[in-house]
């Protein structure tokens, strides 16, 4: 059995009989008293995020998860269809397992699916996605020194703030962890 020293972002632990994914953690050594680990844990089943504190050295049960490279094919009613890149086997994943990743998934995108046995625990997207702007106000010359932004809708239906010079039809590089504009894509 492992301890708090083995905690890493993305690790899956069994806590209060629930599978919890470590979203964030911080080792804290106060001047007085024992060290502890402050964590943010995401319940894989419900998606609820809780704050939990463990004393340093507390024993935790880590769940061995398997990651498989899969390709997103299409949305079928309320489930997402992925294909195994090696066996070409298709698997349906419930939309609640995809979570906010739905804002960045496009056909043909390669992702990692995390499995505990045959159960899908999580969908891991690449850190950046390239999406095309489908709707935004016209761009204006000048006004770029202020750092002003405007809303833009991309091909998945997700809306984000972009600089004023971005126009419809342009491809943008977007950070999938924060949902923020990074740069115009050269692809």
Q: How far apart are the C-alpha atoms of 131 and 140, rounded to whole Å?
A: 21
Query: What average pLDDT does this structure show over 103-117?
Result: 86
- Confirm whether 2-62 and 128-184 share one CATH topology: no
The CATH code for residues 68-124 is 2.40.50.140
3-state SS class at 107? coil
DSSP track, 51-93: EEEEETT-EEEEPP-EEEEEEEEEEETTEEEEEETTT--EEEE
Which residue did the predictor score with more confidence, 104 or 96? 104
**Non-local CB neighbours of 49 within 8 Å, separated by 6+ positions:** 23, 40, 41, 42, 43
Buried-state track 103-118, b at ≥16 Cβ within 10 A, e below 16: bbbeeebebebbeeee
**Non-local CB neighbours of 77 within 8 Å, separated by 6+ positions:** none
* CB-facing half-sphere around the CA of 55: CA atoms within 13 A: 5
Query: Looking at the domain 128-184, which fold is it?
Result: OB fold (Dihydrolipoamide Acetyltransferase, E2P) (2.40.50)
The CATH code for residues 2-62 is 2.30.30.30
**Non-local CB neighbours of 7 within 8 Å, separated by 6+ positions:** 13, 22, 25, 37, 39, 60
Domain extents in the chain:
2-62, 68-124, 128-184
pLDDT value, residue 7:
87
Q: How many CB atoms sit inside 10 A of residue 164's CB?
A: 19
Mean pLDDT of the chain: 85
* CB-facing half-sphere around the CA of 160: CA atoms within 13 A: 23
pLDDT 10s digits, 33-92 = 889 999 999 887 777 889 999 898 888 888 887 888 899 999 888 888 999 888 988 988
Both tokens assigned to 187: 């692809």
Q: Is the pTM of this model over 0.75?
A: no
Q: 139: which DSSP letter?
A: P
**Non-local CB neighbours of 163 within 8 Å, separated by 6+ positions:** 144, 147, 148, 149, 150, 181
């Amino acid at each position: 059995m492992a301890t708090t020293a083995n905690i890493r972002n993305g690790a899956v632990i069994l806590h209060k009989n629930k599978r919890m994914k470590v979203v964030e953690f911080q080792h804290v050594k106060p001047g007085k008293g024992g060290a502890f680990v402050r964590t943010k844990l995401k319940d894989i089943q419900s998606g609820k995020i809780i704050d939990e504190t463990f004393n340093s050295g507390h024993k935790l049960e880590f769940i061995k998860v398997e990651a498989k490279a899969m390709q997103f094919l299409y949305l079928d009613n309320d489930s997402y269809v992925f294909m195994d890149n090696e066996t070409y086997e298709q698997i349906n994943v419930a939309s609640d397992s995809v979570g906010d990743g739905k804002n960045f998934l496009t056909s043909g995108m390669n992702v990692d699916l995390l499995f505990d046995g045959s159960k899908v625990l999580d969908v891991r997207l690449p850190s950046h996605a390239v999406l095309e702007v489908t709707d935004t106000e016209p761009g204006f010359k000048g006004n770029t020194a202020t750092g002003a932004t405007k809303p833009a809708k991309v091909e998945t239906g997700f809306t984000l703030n972009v600089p004023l010079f971005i126009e419809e039809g342009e491809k943008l590089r977007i950070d999938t962890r924060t949902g923020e504009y990074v740069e115009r894509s050269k692809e």
